[in-house]
Amino acid sequence: MKQGILRLLAFAMLVLCVPMGRAGAADLRGEDLRGTGDLGIIVERASGAVQIIDTTNKTVLARVDGLGDLSHASAVFSRDGRYAFIFGRDGGLTKLDLLTAAVVGRTQQAGNSIGGAISEDGRLIAVSNYEPGGVRVFTSDGLEPVADIPTDGKVVGLVDAPGNRFVFSLYDSGEIWIADFSQPGAHSVQRFVDIGLQPYDALVTAEGRYYIAGLFGEDGLVLLDLWHPEEGPRRILDGYGRGEEALPVYKMPHLEGWARAGELFFLPAVGRHELLVLESGSWREKGRIALHGQPVFAVANPDGRHVWINFAHPRNDVVQIVDVESLEVVHTLRPGKAVLHMAFTPRGEQLWMSVRDEDRVDVYDTRSLERLGSLAMDKPSGIFLAARAHRIGL
Amino acid sequence: MKQGILRLLAFAMLVLCVPMGRAGAADLRGEDLRGTGDLGIIVERASGAVQIIDTTNKTVLARVDGLGDLSHASAVFSRDGRYAFIFGRDGGLTKLDLLTAAVVGRTQQAGNSIGGAISEDGRLIAVSNYEPGGVRVFTSDGLEPVADIPTDGKVVGLVDAPGNRFVFSLYDSGEIWIADFSQPGAHSVQRFVDIGLQPYDALVTAEGRYYIAGLFGEDGLVLLDLWHPEEGPRRILDGYGRGEEALPVYKMPHLEGWARAGELFFLPAVGRHELLVLESGSWREKGRIALHGQPVFAVANPDGRHVWINFAHPRNDVVQIVDVESLEVVHTLRPGKAVLHMAFTPRGEQLWMSVRDEDRVDVYDTRSLERLGSLAMDKPSGIFLAARAHRIGL
């Protein structure tokens, strides 16, 4: 870095002090330019900071702090991949320029938020709130308020869907809402009530067709076909845990970290040491896989061959890898205390993993399971790569 | 870090250059920076040039010429999205910096080439050649030669697959080869012979598991499961046109422009006015859809709802849109003479279309079918968006 600064100073002297003036401009410019496709951010939850990373060189490019309470924070990316929109637990919405590491927009949009989404066209950012509930929508450009959709109680499982729609669930009243922003300057909301008790999170399938919400208040999931909302939500995997005694739930699993591989979905079971295997199309249970602990995230390698799973406290020092063909656990890793999050690079050759209590982020070669590198970070949690910009529902 | 550099630059300006005063340096830098996720290139086939486009503003950013014979050219992108690797028909391989519009590398690697691929880790570029045949592999960094894999005759259907593998077919001898570059500094090749007559193009499924080659010399396709290459290739859709009189083939269809939507694949039939519908898993024919002409490209919207199809001369002024649920043609557009290529933005809200003989590229809103804009170009053909960087097999 020092060499870089010296070079820049040398260029500055050439560019600014030599009468011919701009001779070095192109070179100066060339050094600062870079692509955004291999960038990402990692949340340091305790210190309210994010680290900007580069997955090609497996390095940290910059650290940005002052982002408020980032426990349970998540992020989406602008369609050009340059900006991250970071949703803080305290309701703060921050727009971060990954190329300059500058906060270029920030609004304290609510008292307590749980996540957000970016519209298909990249123009709108939606945030789901716990306190005071509701969804607020902003322009991605200047974070100007666009719409305020009040609800009675907590909003969870907010995702984007094709046609500039946002879909979300109401935890307290058991509803699913579709907010349609396809018409400029106006929006409409479609409500589905009595969908089941306490939806706690949701996913949308990769093509944006099926919205699936998990229920905390009863055994089962709810499926809404967004191609046919007129058919309404229907229950799937009903009573998947019925008749068995539920374990205490140490940490709510995440469905946003759901996994699909081929025709199968892999979903963490609430409170059970199990991964549920769901067949797409028939939406029937295809099997269950016994696990080391209560699963939190189950993420599929983009190559569809393996699903990596982390676990709730106190068994969160372990990661298991399930083989999609055999439906068996084929590897058990012990990366260290408190593995909180995992993210694959978009073509699946690397997996990045936050090991919070070891203050470390590890990078694995997913083929050899070799640890390619390790970055020191302060209580790392969520890992969000800029390639999410190009995916529906992420 | 960048802020530190800026401070140093500011300091240098104050201390060293006050009399000359160039206040614009920071602005110059800020203005030049941009994300790469919404960039792409469009080939001007007749003039050996490409236009660099921005899909957010639907504009041309720069034009770069001197790239040789670009008929049938294609491109892949570096994992950071900054560089396009352009494969010319004349064997030229060009590395283009999308941010500066500068050719930063170029090699005349063969006499006649047909396409290429980039390895999973982004380090290797493979090019498939007609003359003298074979596959040549280069570093993506400096286009230094890495490997030369000779073949007897034309190589077609070259794709990348997980594990830094390249898979391709031999048109003349009817073979499929897997070249494995997972070990640094060495590679191995696995050959499958007698796979069928004249494989003319191939695709790999989105997760990189199934390699499917079309046969020109007989009715049918060949499937190779890359998770189980030991099982060897097997024939599917055998005799899909048997007993019917083949039409003269005006233009070979492309399988790289294949479409998958849900559990269905949509493949252009060789020489027939039909789209073949193939069910994944069973690999059986699910149906055929009658079309306006001989299909060339069938591309699925990432939302999985529609497949857009263009046609061979002389019926190439039309584009048809097939609805995936009903398997029916639901729209017939007449954009103009010689629609050569189409590309969806990664989340499917826009479709870009080259209308060669009208010297025009059109941008459609895929929901309303409204034409959002039109860009004047000189005989445009292939459209390649930088988001391909994040996809397996593209």
Using CB atoms and an 8 Å cut-off, which of residues 208-247 of chain A contact chain B? 208-209, 227
Average pLDDT over residues A11-28: 34
How many angstroms separate the CA atoms of B269 and B294, rounded? 8
pLDDT tens for B374-390 read 999 999 999 999 999 99
| Partner B contacted by A10 (CB < 8 A) | no
The verdict on a CB contact (< 8 Å) between B35 and A80 is yes
Higher pLDDT, B260 or A20: B260
Q: Is the pLDDT of residue A307 over 80?
A: yes
Q: Is the pLDDT of residue A21 over 60?
A: no
Tell me, what's the pLDDT at A5?
46
Tell me, what's the pLDDT at A179?
98
pLDDT tens for A274-287 read 999 999 889 999 99
| Partner B contacted by A20 (CB < 8 A) | no
Residue A215 lies in a domain: yes
Q: Is the pLDDT of residue A198 over 70?
A: yes
| Partner B contacted by A372 (CB < 8 A) | no
Residues A110, A137: contact at Cβ < 8 Å? no
Residue numbers in A near B304 (CB within 8 A): 207-209
DSSP state of A269: P
The verdict on a CB contact (< 8 Å) between B80 and A56 is yes
Residues in a beta bridge with A60 = A53
How many angstroms separate the CA atoms of B308 and B290, rounded? 14
Q: Name which of A33, A79, A349 is nearest B32 (Cβ-Cβ).
A: A33
* DSSP string of B242-297, one letter each residue: TTSPPPP-SS---STT-EEETTEEEEEPTTSSEEEEEETTT--EEEEEE-SS-EEE
Query: A244: pLDDT confidence band, cut at 50, 70 and 90?
Result: low
CB atoms within 10 A of CB B186: 9
Phi, psi of B25 (to 5 degrees): -60, -50
Residue A128 lies in a domain: yes
Pick the range with the lowest mean pLDDT from A190-199, A362-371, B236-245, B348-357.
B236-245
Between strands A285-290 and A328-333, the pairing is: unpaired
What is the b/e burial string over A60-72, where b = at least 16 CB atoms within 10 angstroms of the residue's CB?
Answer: bbbbbeebbbbeb
* DSSP string of A210-260, one letter each residue: EEEEEESSSS-EEEEETT-GGG--EEESTTTTTTSPPPP-SS---STT-EE
**Distances in whole angstroms, Cα of residue A38 to Cα of each of A53, A57, A82:** 8, 9, 11
Q: Which of B7, B36, B264 to mutate to test the interface with A (most CBs of A within 10 A)?
A: B36
* DSSP string of B198-245, one letter each residue: -EEEEEE-TTS-EEEEEESSSS-EEEEETT-GGG--EEESTTTTTTSP
Residue numbers in B near A391 (CB within 8 A): 346-347
Q: Is the pLDDT of residue A333 over 80?
A: yes
Asked whether the CA dihedral A122, A123, A128, A131 is positive or negative, the reply is positive
Query: B245: pLDDT confidence band, cut at 50, 70 and 90?
Result: low
Tell me, what's the pLDDT at B6?
45
Angle at Cα B88 formed by Cα B84 and Cα B94, nearest 5°? Answer: 40
Residue B43 lies in a domain: no
The predicted complex's ipTM stands at 0.90
Residues in a beta bridge with A160 = A166
Residue A80 lies in a domain: no
| Partner B contacted by A32 (CB < 8 A) | yes
Phi, psi of A155 (to 5 degrees): -105, 130
Q: In 3D, which of B134, B138, B208 has the Cα closest to residue B171? A: B134
Residues B225, B209: contact at Cβ < 8 Å? yes
CA distance to partner chain A, nearest, from residue B394 (Å): 11
Strands of B88-220, DSSP E = 92-97, 102-108, 112-118, 124-131, 135-139, 145-149, 155-161, 165-170, 175-180, 188-192, 199-204, 210-215
Domain count, chain B: 1
Q: Is the pLDDT of residue B254 over 90?
A: no
A185: domain CATH number is 2.130.10.10
Mean pLDDT of chain A: 89
CA distance to partner chain A, nearest, from residue B340 (Å): 25
Residue B71 lies in a domain: no
| Partner B contacted by A365 (CB < 8 A) | no
Average pLDDT over residues B283-290: 94
Between strands A165-170 and A155-161, the pairing is: antiparallel
Residues A176, A224: contact at Cβ < 8 Å? yes
Edge-first strand listing for the sheet containing A165-170: A155-161, A165-170, A175-180, A188-192
Q: Which of B3, B79, B344 to mutate to test the interface with A (most CBs of A within 10 A)?
A: B79
CA-nearest residue of chain A to B83? A35
The verdict on a CB contact (< 8 Å) between B36 and A102 is no
Q: In 3D, which of A157, A134, A288 has the Cα closest to residue A210? A: A157
Tell me, what's the pLDDT at B246?
58
The verdict on a CB contact (< 8 Å) between A80 and B2 is no
pLDDT tens for A31-73 read 579 999 999 999 998 999 999 999 999 999 999 999 999 988 9
Tell me, what's the pLDDT at B315?
96
Q: What percent of chain A has pLDDT over 70?
A: 89
How many angstroms separate the CA atoms of B168 and B224, rounded? 11
Residue B255 lies in a domain: no
How many C-alpha atoms does A216 have within 13 Å on its Cβ side?
Answer: 21
pLDDT tens for B20-57 read 323 333 333 445 799 999 999 999 989 999 999 999 99
Give the contacts of B228 (CB within 8 A, at least 6 positions apart).
none
Residues in a beta bridge with A319 = A310, A333
Tell me, what's the pLDDT at B4?
47
Residues B198, B204: contact at Cβ < 8 Å? no
CB atoms within 10 A of CB A108: 13
- Amino acid A154 reads K
3-state secondary structure of B175: strand
Domain of residue A174, residue span: 109-247
| Partner B contacted by A13 (CB < 8 A) | yes
Average pLDDT over residues B181-205: 94
Give the contacts of A289 (CB within 8 A, at least 6 positions apart).
A266, A274, A275, A277, A322, A327, A328, A329
3-state secondary structure of B350: strand
Tell me, what's the pLDDT at B11?
40
Average pLDDT over residues B346-374: 97
How many angstroms separate the CA atoms of A288 and A61, rounded? 41
How many beta-carbon pairs under 8 angstroms link A with B?
A: 210
Average pLDDT over residues B74-92: 96
Average pLDDT over residues B101-125: 93
Mean pLDDT of chain B: 89
* DSSP string of A39-104, one letter each residue: EEEEEETTTTEEEEEETTTTEEEEEE------TT-EEEE-TTS-EEEEE-TTSEEEEEETTTTEEE
Tell me, what's the pLDDT at A385?
98
Phi, psi of A131 (to 5 degrees): -125, 110
Between strands B39-44 and B49-54, the pairing is: antiparallel
Q: Is the pLDDT of residue A317 over 50?
A: yes
How many angstroms separate the CA atoms of B299 and B310, rounded? 9
Query: B370: pLDDT confidence band, cut at 50, 70 and 90?
Result: very high
Residue B205 lies in a domain: yes
Between strands A221-225 and A210-215, the pairing is: antiparallel
Average pLDDT over residues A358-374: 97
Q: In 3D, which of A82, A102, A73, A87 has the Cα closest to residue A135? A: A87
Pick the range with the lowest mean pLDDT from A191-195, A319-323, B215-219.
B215-219
